Structure 1
Amino acid sequence: MKYFEDFAVGEKRESPRRHLITEEEIMEFGNRWDYQPFHVDPEAAKASVFGGLVASSTHLFAVSVSLFCHKDLDSAGRSAAISALGFNNIKLKAPVRPGDELKCVSVVIEKRQSNSRPGAGILVMRNEVTNQREELVFIYEHAALYRLREAS
């Protein structure tokens, strides 16, 4: 388990797992959460600006979170996160297509103790999602509340 004290500004962590994006997953997510032709219909997607199916931004966000917060992670891969506080500077950098394998690198850009929550600190991180060709596809910053070790 990684606590607030274990993080350092400038520290980079690579996600311990990868996620393969499939055509079925793109269409399933699109049909449920983001019904656009280029997310749900391969034929219509061919006529779009993307020239084929692409994952939605909300799909990419969900995948990026799961790369660090997944039920299959062992205790060494988990952190003492309490709650997300907010997300900023969300940018789509390149389309994600079926067959792309995603990973995430998280960089600590700010660290401070919480003024309102004793026993907790706030980490701000920049998250960079890349595909198997190391192309940046999605980026965002997030702030989250983490437990201090001595408070646990």
Structure 2
Amino acid sequence: MLEETKYYEDFQVGEGRKTIGRTITETDFVVHAGHSGDFFPHHLDAEFCKTLPFGQRIAHGTMVFTIGVGLTATVINPVAFSYGYDRLRFVKPVFIGDTIHSRVEIIALEVMEKRPGYGRVTERLSVINQSGDTVLVADHIYMVEMKAKGVAA
């Protein structure tokens, strides 16, 4: 992993990056079900899923989110902290054998009035499958230290 110190003032709306791909496996489904306790048949029962519109098992949305976020975790910024996620949507299903990658783009910068010396950086996460379809979107919010703490940018 790369370490890069990037202060609030160093971010620009529109900047972004794309991750490598990762193929989703049946093992991913089973491990995620065990970790989350979500054993719904939509994820694990192949015969039941044949009777549904998609005709096959669909990935847990929370698994796609976790893997999609994990793919972006290639840079450690010691002055940025995850503040949370907003607007999470499961846009399209992901199936065993699909390969997904993530794209992130800075969509907003705001000074945090209640936390002097920090700004909020909002990064749009898009998880995309091998066909170019967006399967998940979410906004990742970071609390990022300012270069001149206590001075609004």
Moved over 4 A (4+): none
Q: Give distance in 2, aligned partners of 1:110 and 1:101.
A: 29
Query: Mind listing any 5+ residue stretches in structure 2 that lack a counterpart?
Result: none
Q: Give distance in 2, aligned partners of 1:32 and 1:48.
A: 25
Q: How far 1:24 sits from its partner (Å)?
A: 1.6
Bigger Rg, structure 1 or 2: 2
Query: Which residue of structure 1 lines up, in the alignment, with residue 88 of structure 2?
Result: 90
Q: 1:18 aligns with which of 13, 17, 21?
A: 21
User: Is the aligned partner of 1:122 residue 2:125?
Assistant: no
Q: Give distance in 2, aligned partners of 1:81 and 1:30.
A: 34
User: Is the aligned partner of 1:51 residue 2:49?
Assistant: no
Query: Which residue of structure 2 lines up, in the alignment, with residue 78 of structure 1?
Result: 76
CA offsets, 1:98-131, max 9 Å, x none? 1111111111111123333344321112111101
Normalising to structure 2: TM-score of the pair? Answer: 0.80
- What is the aligned-residue identity percentage? 27
Query: Which residue of structure 1 lines up, in the alignment, with residue 131 of structure 2?
Result: 133
Q: Give distance in 1, aligned partners of 2:130 and 2:5.
A: 27
Q: 2:45 aligns with which of 41, 53, 63?
A: 41
Query: Which residue of structure 1 lines up, in the alignment, with residue 97 of structure 2?
Result: 99
AA at the equivalent of 1:27: V
Q: Give distance in 1, aligned partners of 2:147 and 2:57.
A: 45
Q: How far 1:40 sits from its partner (Å)?
A: 1.6
Structure with higher helix content:
1
Counterpart secondary structure, 1:139: strand
Q: Give distance in 2, aligned partners of 1:19 and 1:8.
A: 28
Q: Give distance in 2, aligned partners of 1:46 and 1:80.
A: 47
Q: How far 1:62 sits from its partner (Å)?
A: 0.6
Aligned CA RMSD, in angstroms, stands at 2.1
Q: Give distance in 1, aligned partners of 2:46 and 2:63.
A: 17
Query: Mind listing any 5+ residue stretches in structure 1 that lack a counterpart?
Result: none
